Chain A
Amino acid sequence: GAGVSQSPSNKVTEKGKDVELRCDPISGHTALYWYRQSLGQGLEFLIYFQGNSAPDKSGLPSDRFSAERTGGSVSTLTIQRTQQEDSAVYLCASSHGLRAYEQYFGPGTRLTVT
């Protein structure tokens, strides 16, 4: 079956611009996660959605970062007023609701802020 898909695969933006990154989870997965992977920082948790519950936003690094999940499926991660330190690979994962230990990742969006 289809895995997690993300778009765009690459994004180059100028400092100060806003960007939107999209994630399509595996069909039937109720939980969706965003992570960031950068050199020197490894893979860091950003935000987690589970069904209709309030999202766990504890990993968002600043209020410039936000995410939403519409209709319990597709999710968009928005970064406002991008900074050079936001350059990283943004990874999305999904799982069945009570199987957080079985997260499946998408290919990621490589964001470069110039």
Chain B
Amino acid sequence: QKEVEQDPGPLSVPEGAIVSLNCTYSNSAFQYFMWYRQYSRKGPELLMYTYSSGNKEDGRFTAQVDKSSKYISLFIRDSQPSDSATYLCAMTRSSNTGKLIFGQGTTLQVKP
């Protein structure tokens, strides 16, 4: 079993929809949780990071972490065709361990 599980999709939604992307994990030592967006043939782009449990909002994006359930989410409001990409969750134990553990990525398509 992988340390981080993420449904690969694909997920297809109409423009303007609210998108929910999720990851589950097994290692309770993870403290930092990140979401990356990756366009085709590009490197991953950091969207947001969260420390421990709670919510964090940045524009149309909201990240949620529930450590008791070992479950993290990324919500995208008012989705746009430009949001079409692969979304990767990533986690690490501390701020200086270096090694990120990634989910497989969820491919999202937002249709105009």
Contacts and interface: CB of A to CB of B under 8 A. Distances in A.
Interface in A38-74: 42-45, 48, 50, 56, 58-59
A105 B98 contact: no
Contact of B98 (A4, A48, A91): A48
Given A42-B103, A101-B51, A108 B43 contact: yes
B103 to A, nearest CB: 7
Q: What bracket does the count of chain B residues touching chain A fall in?
A: 20 to 34
Interface residues of A, number: 27
B44 to A, nearest CB: 5
A97 interface: yes
B65 interface: no
Nearest to B98: A48
Interface stretch (B10-18, B54-62, B68-76, B87-95): B87-95
Tell me which of B51, B97, B98 has the highest count of chain A C-beta atoms within 10 A of its own C-beta: B98
A38 B99 CA distance: 17
Interface of B: 32, 34, 36, 41-46, 49, 51, 88, 90, 92, 94-105
